[in-house]
Amino acid sequence: MTVDRWHHFRENLLGWYRPERRPMPWKEHNDPYNIWLSEIILQQTRVEQGTAYYERFAATYPTVRDLARAPDDEVMKLWEGLGYYSRARNLLKAARMVVDQYDGDFPDTYVGLLKLPGVGPYTAAAIASFAFDRQVAVLDGNVYRVLSRYAGVATPTDSTAGKHQFSELATLALGEAPAARFNQAIMDFGALVCTPRKAACKVCPLAKACVALAENRVYDLPVKEKKLKRRDRHFHYLVIKDDSERTIIQQRSEKDIWQDLYQFPLLETPKKTLASADLPLHPDWPAWLPAGELTFRKRSQPFKQQLTHQTIYATFHTFHWKLMPGSGEGFVVTQNKLLDNFAFPRVIAKFIEDKRLLLDLF
Ligand code: SF4
């Protein structure tokens, strides 16, 4: 593709761009902390959902120092419902690193930013350009789509060759344009005009030189190499309550989804259904839980939660335990009304909420 076509791209894209088309609270900032916070929160999250979380985090922790000194559990609780909890853990790690190693100032280069936990190439480029005016081009899903269609490039975006090629194209497209404005423009353009399924080619200011449009390949691009594979997992939670409005929860410690979040004691099975009477026979039935002292009460319908690579089906089995002890090793006994102090995966939070609405349990 010739230099002229990229000139055309830049000029028309910047001519199209109006920041007010996609107003977002963090766009008003050029403070690296706010930009970093918003970028981490928005990874794999819809803007509508992410905005509320961003505002809550920015209000609770106005500076990186405030965030760095926050207790882990408090941050996880504030993150509850956003998913991908490793991002929350990295958020804290990075904030503490900025305070401890950089005296509270974010690194001001692309390479320096990449050293922060949870900051990959996209986030580093976004912060470097938005906060520090560095001449680096961002590459996210929107940008891949716009570039691959405009240039007619079918190299898979998730292949090594594709990453390399698109990074070159993005740099070519950016040229000498003001990076912050250009990066914001191309991402907004992908979100509003060159969208995955309803591209507005008829009114597109880039249409004249768009290869995909000329070759009728708009919806064939971009190409991905790997098809997303999903697996089903079947979780059976033991909801154990006593007469004093107490219940038992545990913190997840395994290297698995939802690490560090809380849950009811869990048994995982390869199949969807498991008779409640058979639960004590499960090899992972907790040794501290005397099955003979529990009275089975009821079983919920399966609750479903869709994650990127997994579909979770969660069934809640409720038991009564007359002589429930206090907290022990590996489990916490808590008052039901205090459950809100703990961060749960969304599927459990939903179960608790439903129960409350029915005035049934918690
Ligand atoms: S013409 Fe269509 S496919 Fe090409 S850049 Fe514009 S919106 Fe995207």
What is the whole-number distance in angstroms between the Cα of residue 201 and the centre of ligand 1?
A: 5
What is the reported pLDDT for 234?
A: 95
Over 70: is that where the pLDDT of 362 sits? Answer: no
**Ordered structural domains, the chain, with CATH:** 3-220 (1.10.340.30), 231-357 (3.90.79.10)
Average of pLDDT values for 170-179? 95
What is the reported pLDDT for 44?
A: 74
DSSP 7-66: HHHHHHHHHH--GGGS--GGGG---HHHHHHHHHHHTTS-HHHHHHHHHHHHHH--SHHH
Q: Can you state the angle between helices 3-16 and 160-174, rounded to 10 degrees? A: 70
As a whole number of angstroms, the distance between CA 259 and CA 84 comes to: 10
Which residue among 8, 203, 206, 208 has the greatest number of ligand 1 atoms within 8 angstroms of its CB, and so is best to mutate?
206
As a whole number of angstroms, the distance between CA 229 and CA 216 comes to: 29
What is the whole-number distance in angstroms between the Cα of residue 23 and the centre of ligand 1?
A: 23
Catalytic, 80? Answer no
Of 36-50, 98-112, 158-172, 189-203, where does mean pLDDT reach its minimum?
Answer: 36-50
- Please work out, in degrees rounded to the nearest 5, the angle formed at the alpha carbon of residue 296 by the alpha carbons of 295 and 300: 155
**Active-site residue, selected from the candidate residues 39, 55, 254, 329:** 39
What is the whole-number distance in angstroms between the Cα of residue 190 and the centre of ligand 1?
A: 9
Of 43-52, 68-77, 91-100, 149-158, where does mean pLDDT reach its minimum?
Answer: 43-52
Task: Give the number of other CB atoms < 10 A from CB of residue 247.
Answer: 23
DSSP 102-151: HTT----SHHHHTTSTT--HHHHHHHHHHHH--------HHHHHHHHHHH
Over 70: is that where the pLDDT of 173 sits? Answer: yes
How would residue 23 be classed by pLDDT, with cut points 50, 70 and 90?
Answer: confident
As a whole number of angstroms, the distance between CA 360 and CA 270 comes to: 29
Which residue among 6, 9, 153, 204 has the greatest number of ligand 1 atoms within 8 angstroms of its CB, and so is best to mutate?
204
Over 90: is that where the pLDDT of 16 sits? Answer: yes
Average of pLDDT values for 264-285? 87
User: Ligand 1: which atom is nearest the Cα of residue 145?
Assistant: 8
Q: What's the pTM value of the predicted model, to 2 decimals?
A: 0.73
Q: Per-residue pLDDT tens for 332-354? A: 999 988 998 999 999 999 999 88
Q: Ligand 1: list residues with CB < 6 Å.
A: 146, 149-150, 193-194, 199-201, 204, 206-207, 210, 212-213, 218
Over 70: is that where the pLDDT of 213 sits? Answer: yes
What is the reported pLDDT for 314?
A: 95
What is the whole-number distance in angstroms between the Cα of residue 130 and the centre of ligand 1?
A: 25
